[in-house]
């Protein structure tokens, strides 16, 4: 069985299908070209996606991911995704992968070829990279100004803050900037001084017995993995809440993490070149819980 699988959806939304009477999705050769050079994903980055962690054949938080997928589509005025078709394609891709302890699936929906009126959709599945070092040793981060106020989602909703879009040039650029500063990752800060998110992650802090994360109302993605952590942590006696806080709170917190669907929980071990203590015990407990959720 393969370690990479690709399925294209025939009718990813309520728009007309690409081929009348064809199956809802078809497996295609991941090594062969499949996307039109005129697709707006290629020419404009006009589309949305989700990355879903898979453990021992089971997707983590599938329904929250699909719900966020639909919200992103609405934000971009894309046709509503046919979630039943997407569930089926995701399940089929996972089943077609060579079994592994950790895999991941990426769902992509684009506006399609300009003027055609039929969105393009596909599901890609693969074995996951080895994130053991990031999960145990931690990551070095730098703060970078995102250039927007913390209330930009309310003042300028057309900027699509909080939607998971394919327009990732900035998110890739900041990682190159982090590397130039001898760091691994980034925490975005609003122009008026509030912590937002990472380019591919949610920020999580521990202050005593309280876990804190920035609110999605700041125009950031609602973290599916962070929500799972809060559900677990509440049962473990932690107080869990969203809050407005600045870089100083991250520096002074008892522990800080970057949380994402595939990498899971990576402790922050340095900020702007200054070492930060890692809560190895709680990190291990959270990652153990997340692994259990995926199996």
Whether residue 256 is found in the same domain as residue 140 = yes
Token digits for 102? 């950790």
- Cα angle value 271/272/275 (rounded, 5°): 45
CATH of the domain at 75: 3.30.470.10
CA dist 33 and 166 (Å) reads: 19
Number of Cβ within a 10 Å radius of residue 28: 14
Q: Which residues on neighbouring strands pair with residue 211, listed in sequence order?
A: 206, 240
Three-state secondary-structure class, residue 115:
coil
Question: How many domains does the chain divide into?
Answer: 2
pLDDT of residue 291: 84
- Residues 40, 120: one domain? yes
Q: Which of 108, 128, 148 is the last residue of a domain?
A: 128
Q: What are the pLDDT digits (tens) for 56-110? A: 899 999 999 999 999 999 999 999 999 999 999 999 999 999 999 999 999 999 9
Neighbours of 238 (CB within 10 A): 17
Residues 137 and 124 in one domain: no
Query: Residue 293's pLDDT band (boundaries 50, 70, 90)?
Result: confident
User: Which residues constitute the domain of residue 270?
Assistant: 133-293
Q: Which of 128, 159, 180 is the last residue of a domain?
A: 128
Task: Enumerate residues 6+ apart whose C-beta is below 8 A from 265.
Answer: 135, 204, 225, 229, 257, 258, 259, 283, 286, 287, 290
């Amino acid at each position: 069985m393969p370690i990479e699988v690709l399925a294209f959806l025939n009718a990813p939304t309520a728009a007309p299908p690409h081929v009348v009477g064809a199956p809802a999705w078809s497996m295609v050769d991941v090594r062969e070209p499949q996307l039109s050079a005129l697709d707006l994903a290629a020419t404009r980055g006009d589309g949305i996606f989700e990355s879903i962690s898979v453990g021992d054949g089971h997707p983590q938080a599938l329904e929250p991911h699909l719900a966020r997928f639909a919200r992103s589509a609405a934000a971009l005025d894309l046709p509503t995704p046919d979630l039943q078709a997407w569930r089926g394609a995701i399940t089929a891709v996972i089943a077609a992968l060579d079994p592994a302890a950790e895999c991941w699936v990426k769902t992509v929906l684009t506006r399609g070829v300009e003027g055609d009126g039929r969105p393009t959709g596909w599901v890609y599945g693969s074995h996951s990279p080895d994130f053991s070092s990031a999960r145990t040793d931690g990551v070095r981060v730098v703060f970078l100004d995102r250039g927007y106020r913390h209330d930009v989602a309310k003042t300028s909703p057309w900027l699509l803050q909080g939607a998971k879009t394919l327009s990732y040039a900035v998110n890739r650029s900041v990682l190159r900037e982090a590397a130039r500063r001898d760091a691994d990752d980034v925490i975005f800060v609003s122009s008026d001084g509030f912590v937002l998110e990472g380019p591919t992650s949610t920020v999580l802090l521990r202050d005593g017995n309280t876990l804190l994360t920035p609110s999605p109302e700041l125009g950031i993605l609602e973290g599916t993995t962070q929500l799972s952590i809060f559900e677990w942590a509440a049962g473990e006696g932690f107080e869990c809440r969203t809050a407005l806080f600045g870089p100083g709170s991250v520096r002074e917190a008892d522990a800080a993490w970057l949380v994402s669907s595939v990498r899971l929980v990576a402790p922050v071990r340095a900020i702007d070149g200054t070492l930060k203590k890692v809560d190895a015990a709680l990190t291990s407990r959270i990652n153990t819980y997340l692994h259990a959720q995926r199996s």
